[in-house]
Amino acid sequence: MCGRYAATLPPEMMVELFNLLNQIDFPPRYNITPTQPIAVVWEQSGRRTIQLVRWGFVPGWVKDPREFSLLINARAETMAEKPSFRDAVRNSRCIVPASGYYEWMKGKDGVRRPYYITMADGSPMVFAGLYSTWSGPDGEEVDTACIVTVEPNLEISSIYDRMPAMLTGENVDLWLNTRDIDTRAATQLALPLPAGSLKYHPVGKAVGRTDVDEPALIREMSAEELAAEDETRARKPKKAAAGGGQLDLF
Among 2, 43, 94, 146, the one annotated catalytic: 2
**Which residue, among 6, 10, 226, 208, has the nearest Cα to 118 in the 3D structure?**
6
Active site residue 2: yes
Q: Is 78 helix (H, G, I), strand (E, B) or coil?
A: coil
For residues 144 and 57, is the Cβ–Cβ distance under 8 A?
yes
Q: How far apart are CA 27 and CA 198, in angstroms?
A: 25
For residue 169, what is the DSSP state?
A: T
> What residue type is 7 in one-letter code?
A
Among 43, 94, 103, 146, the one annotated catalytic: 103
Q: In the chain, count of helices (H) and strands (E)? A: 5, 12
Element (H, E) at 16: helix 11-18
Active site residue 103: yes
Cα atoms in the 13 Å half-sphere on the side-chain side of 247: 12
Catalytic residue numbers?
2, 103
